[in-house]
Amino acid sequence: MPTDDFDPLATEDFDSAHAEYRQLRTRCPVAHSNAWNGFWALFRHADVVAVLKNPRLFITSVQNVVPKVAFTGRRPPLHLDPPEHTPYRQALNPFFTAAKMERLEPAVRRITGELLQEFIDAGGGDICSGFTHRYPGYIFAEFFNLPPDLGLAIREVTAIYDRALQEADDDLVRETSLQLYEVARRIIAMRKAEPLDPADDVTTALLQRRYRGALLPEDLVLGTIRQMIVVGMIAPSVFIGTMLLHLARHRELQDELRSRPELIPAALEEYLRLFTPYRGFARTARADVTIDGRRIQKDEPIALVYASANRDETVFPDSERFILNRPNISEHIAFGLGPHRCAGEPLARLMLRVTLEEFLARTHSFEPAGEVRMTRWPEWGTLAVPLSVTAA
């Protein structure tokens, strides 16, 4: 049996995981854990990138996350390998163009401002429960062109699912996962009865998409919508609290970004590198492989620890520090790489940038106000971030 090189179930504070990953990149960059029936983990940037660039050998269709959390059916495009995943990506990509994001930005800014103002008017609190767990559901309702009843359903279920996932409440995760499928079914039924222009509505586009002469299977369209909701919900809810905690602890940076908002996009990129929320996205090899001297057998899950790769000192000098305008910041892989690079990356960047802009513009200052709680593997980030806020 392979060695047990690290423990992903260990209790963590804000700094402990990255301190361990710094050591692992040096002494054991290809590590094995016996948790969750055993898996491998890659901690160096070069190794993670090499796997992401070789989708023929390293596939997602066997296991795409450690631990395996898919309790229900396949959810394209992540659960499929090329070329089967391609028609789903081709249907999704037009909805994340720069032009689409420009059209969506006023609604995103309105929603963001309204939710943040509630938090600010209350003098602060836990930004995660008060904003980040709620925020994605409101954006999804807009993105999917949902009427008020479905918009309310998606907001309620996503908030509960997100909290259950971060608190590792498996029973509630299963329950709300099924509820998310039910919401997706309702979205599909609505669009079958009342289709919109497929150029403007992602559900209609998926339902009308053809591949090899046939419509995409409806169960996989269902899985695609469900996957979009879940992936788009988890990362922002984990990442925003982490980003705002760093700003709360660094008043000088907070003031600089408030007075020079043109620096916010560059700050966001450095935050994405420094506080990447993913560490459990996985691949499995189609054949036995050797990476950095470690023999990995066919079909053994391999976690790609983006959170560690983006702090690899051989790629990002002084990697533990926040540094604006790093010359090679584009080498970070917060959104992945290759055919499974995050399709919703432009929407995520829009949501995160607008959150920073609106929160800084609406506040005079904010500071930490209590105990921070962390999420658990497969994400890395904050679950609770109490902040004290002074309005602008």
The proportion of the chain whose per-residue pLDDT surpasses 70, expressed as a percent, equals: 98
For residue range 263-306, what is the model confidence (pLDDT) as tens digits? 999 999 999 999 999 999 999 999 999 999 999 999 999 999 99
Amino acid identity for residue 264 in this structure: I
- pLDDT band at residue 130 using 50, 70 and 90 as cut-offs: very high
- pLDDT band at residue 98 using 50, 70 and 90 as cut-offs: very high
Over residues 134-152, the mean pLDDT reads 89
Record the tokens describing residue 221, joined without a space.
């369209």
Over residues 138-157, the mean pLDDT reads 88
* pLDDT score of 71 more than 60: no
* pLDDT score of 126 more than 80: yes
Q: Which residue has the tokens 């403007």?
A: 200
| Residue-range domain boundaries for the chain | 16-391
Homologous superfamily, domain 16-391: Cytochrome P450 (1.10.630.10)
Contact between residue 310 and residue 273 where contact means Cβ atoms under 8 Å apart: yes
Contact between residue 139 and residue 108 where contact means Cβ atoms under 8 Å apart: yes
Sequence-separated (6 or more) residues with CB below 8 Å from residue 264: 257, 353, 356, 357, 360
Sequence-separated (6 or more) residues with CB below 8 Å from residue 301: 38, 39, 40, 62, 63, 66, 68, 282, 283, 284
- pLDDT on residue 244: 98
Record the tokens describing residue 73, joined without a space.
């059916």
* pLDDT score of 241 more than 60: yes
Question: What is the 8-class DSSP label of residue 381?
Answer: S
Over residues 347-362, the mean pLDDT reads 98
Contact between residue 288 and residue 245 where contact means Cβ atoms under 8 Å apart: no
- pLDDT on residue 70: 61
pLDDT mean across residues, the chain? 93
DSSP-based three-state secondary structure for 210: strand
- pLDDT on residue 117: 98
Phi, psi values for residue 194, rounded to 5°: -135, 75
Rounded to whole angstroms, the Cα distance separating 186 from 180 reads 10
* pLDDT score of 6 more than 90: yes
- pLDDT on residue 79: 74
* pLDDT score of 129 more than 70: yes
Torsion, CA 329, CA 103, CA 226, CA 145, rounded to 10: 170
Record the tokens describing residue 336, joined without a space.
């992945």
pTM of the model: 0.95
- pLDDT band at residue 76 using 50, 70 and 90 as cut-offs: low
Element (H, E) at 58: strand 58-59
- pLDDT on residue 80: 82
* pLDDT score of 338 more than 80: yes
The proportion of the chain whose per-residue pLDDT surpasses 90, expressed as a percent, equals: 78
- pLDDT band at residue 13 using 50, 70 and 90 as cut-offs: very high
Question: What is the 8-class DSSP label of residue 71?
Answer: -
- pLDDT band at residue 165 using 50, 70 and 90 as cut-offs: confident
Amino acid identity for residue 246 in this structure: H
- 88 burial (CB, 10 Å; 0-12 / 13-18 / 19+) is buried
- pLDDT on residue 147: 87
- pLDDT band at residue 169 using 50, 70 and 90 as cut-offs: confident
Rounded to whole angstroms, the Cα distance separating 141 from 100 reads 16
Sequence-separated (6 or more) residues with CB below 8 Å from residue 125: 119, 386, 387
* pLDDT score of 115 more than 80: yes
Rounded to whole angstroms, the Cα distance separating 259 from 236 reads 25
